A = this chain, B = another copy of it.
Amino acid sequence: MAGRAAEPEVIWARRERTGRGPRPAYTRADIAAAAVRIADAEGLDAVSMRRVAAELGCGTMSLYNYVARKEDLHELMVDAVGGEHELWEPGGDWRADMLRVAHQTRALMHRHPWLPRLMSPVYGFSPNSLRFVEHCLACLDPLPVSYGTRMELIAMLNAVVTMYVGNELATAERTRALPWSEEQENAVRAAYVGGRLASGAYPRLAAGITENPGPVDMEEVFERMLGRVLDGFDPGD
């Protein structure tokens, strides 16, 4: 009957400073930066409330004055690195501009390998996310399709980039905690898959591997993928 109201909390909807009481010792930016520093250096799993508090030099529970849940800390992190996106004046060639966006996103994720894991649709409303989408829309001004379609383009391009780079980085991020190296893990997996393919149960898969046994050029694949996504939206004038 008593208890608390249990109203939905969206961190961006609450102003950072309320006026009353002692001035907070840290800003949201400070906290986000500390968390990002830890995640970059030690992986996302090292980002705990205690660890971030220690990094800041304050008590663990003090963090809860700034964020209601750990998840909000993640939102702060995503927004913070989203601010690293360089926004330029679109040049009129929407295809070139969107390619540049995609490459920038990929670079961002390489700088912060934990980012793909935190890329969630529900985080799409942070200040820097809004800015980013607005910038994409500006790049798409010359594209003669509805806003709805433009949004779909942006969503799809981001999804594909996130998935692609997530794949690129997954093993690396994963094996960070494990007692063996990425190469060892890959070797064991390759040996296992090789054995399965040799069983003859997957003829096409085997043929695919045979066709191109060497390591794939990931840059090339990425480029091709982007091209295909954009093709799907090109009215072809």
A residues lining the B interface (CB < 8 Å): 6-10, 12-13, 120-122, 125, 127, 130-131, 133-134, 137-138, 141, 146-148, 150-152, 156, 159-160, 162-164, 166-167, 170-171, 174, 178-180, 184-185, 187-189, 191-193, 195-196, 201-205, 207-208, 211-212, 216, 221, 224-225, 227-229, 231-233
Question: Can you list 18 residue pairs at the A/B interface with Cβ under 8 Å?
Answer: A7-B188, A8-B184, A8-B187, A9-B188, A10-B192, A121-B167, A121-B171, A122-B174, A134-B202, A134-B204, A137-B205, A146-B211, A146-B212, A147-B204, A148-B211, A160-B163, A229-B229, A229-B232
Complex CA gap A120/B225 in Å reads: 19
Given contacts A121-B166, A171-B122, A192-B13, contact A225 B8 (CB under 8 A): no
B residues less than 8 Å from A170 (CB atoms) = 120-122
Name the one of B120, B180, B188, B204 contacting A138, with C-beta atoms under 8 angstroms: B204
State whether A156 touches B120 (Cβ < 8 A). no
B residues less than 8 Å from A191 (CB atoms) = 13
Complex CA gap A187/B8 in Å reads: 9
Complex CA gap A190/B167 in Å reads: 32
- Known contacts A13-B188, A121-B171, A150-B208, then 20 further A-B pairs from the complex at CB < 8 Å, ordered by chain A residue: A6-B180, A8-B184, A8-B188, A8-B189, A10-B189, A120-B170, A121-B170, A122-B171, A130-B201, A133-B202, A137-B205, A138-B204, A146-B211, A146-B212, A147-B212, A148-B211, A156-B160, A156-B228, A159-B164, A229-B232
